[in-house]
Amino acid sequence: MRAAVYICLLSSIAIAPLTAQSHPAQADRPLTVTQIVRLTSNAVVQVVVLDESGKEFALGSGFLVSADGKIVTNHHVIEGAHSAIAKLANGSFFPVTGVLAANADRDLVLLKVEGKGLPFLTLDSTAGLQVGDNVLAIGSPLGLEGTVSPGIVSAFRDETPNGRMIQTNAPVSHGNSGGPLLDMRGKVVGVISSGVSPEEGQNLNFAIPSDEVERLLSMPLKLTSIESIKSLAAKPGEPSSAANQGGHGHSTDQPIPQDRWQAAVAGDEASEFYIGTSYYYGDHGIDQNYGEAVHWFAKAANQGDAGAQYYLGSAFEFGQGEIRDDVKAAELYRAAADQNMILAQVALGTMYLQGRGVLRWSRLFGQFSAIFKWKFCFSV
């Protein structure tokens, strides 16, 4: 009798925007493992996934594919997420601003963080990849960032539920999901996605071919809320989990219900936030409009909602023209940070370090606990 094989998902997400000159991490000749790590590790990141209360509930891996902050990871890594933070190789944290594209069938998603001039990895076609070729996995197994695992291509499997996969004996664990599988030129040939339970076999792991990442990048890109990924995980005929989350849930292909508008006009805090995020991301058939987003977030923020304070601050920080106001952004981030919202603490800390909206380094140490206490959430 054929033994049952159990495939387990290796939750992961990561990202590594660094303030360095933009360059693709690649070479035209075979390199040593040490050279590959030196060339690529800055573009591999850890993704910390947060629930609606701002608490960490999953970790994963990922990698930058562009200098402006596009990150590839697994779809399953961010399912159920309310927000996420990308941790860079230098220890910095950046909030994930949204989802640009997703393919649930192939377990891939393209995330976005705000950045420019970032190091990134390049893709290599798997057409020339052969069984026995040396490969390298980099990621955050069990939260251990920057872990390097060498191996070989063990086989190509076409009979998996998610289509063609690369089988590798490169050791990976929970937290590696979304991380790159690299060839010996430092180019991405796969995305680590799953593995066989240790009870059934050792080092039987699988990666999605890089050709599928190329298809993901060729999809129409539109920034949507990270919560919208939940609707892609819903079964046909069933409501998405996001649609059942009340004020903070989004289903991007459905118009805003009339009762939501009425409740928002009447002063319902959750509905004000809901409509604000619709304008912020351009969801529900509404064109993205930071001015309208500011209007609705301000109404909810005045009632003390930390989420609205954070998003209002973000609209002021990244808005254009008259909307742009770093001082207001810092004030709003501080109000949300005082309510222990991790994303706001990260954003405020970043503004202090960059000297935007506050005096550079001023009051930094006096604000130490408020700005940096999020660090204690990520111990492993």
What are the backbone angles phi and psi of residue 115, rounded to the nearest 5°? Answer: -175, 170
Taking domain 255-378, whether its CATH number is 1.25.40.10 is answered by yes
Token pair of 234 as six digits: 């819903």
**Residue showing tokens 């891939």:** 108
List b or e across 23-39, with b for residues whose CB sees 16 or more CB atoms inside 10 angstroms.
Answer: ebbbbeeebeeeebbeb
Determine the pLDDT at residue 162. Answer: 66
Determine the pLDDT at residue 349. Answer: 74
The domain segmentation of the chain, as residue ranges, is 8-217, 255-378
The sign of the dihedral angle between the CA atoms of 167, 60, 7, 198 is positive
Determine the pLDDT at residue 130. Answer: 95
Closest CA to 9 of 174, 214, 200, 202: 174
| DSSP SS3 for 85 | strand
- In CATH, what is the architecture of 8-217? Beta Barrel (2.40)
Model pTM above 0.85: no
Q: What is the mean pLDDT of each run of 10 residues along the chain (380 residues)?
A: 40 36 60 94 92 83 94 92 87 87 92 89 93 95 90 88 86 91 96 74 85 93 82 37 32 72 86 84 76 89 84 82 83 84 71 66 45 34
Q: How far apart are CA 179 and CA 325, in angstroms?
A: 36
DSSP string, 90-149: TS-EEEEEEEEEEEGGGTEEEEEES-SS--EE-B--STT--TT-EEEEEE-GGG-TTEEE
Fold matches, 8-217 and 255-378:
no
Closest CA to 76 of 11, 141, 14: 11
Strand partners, 56: 50
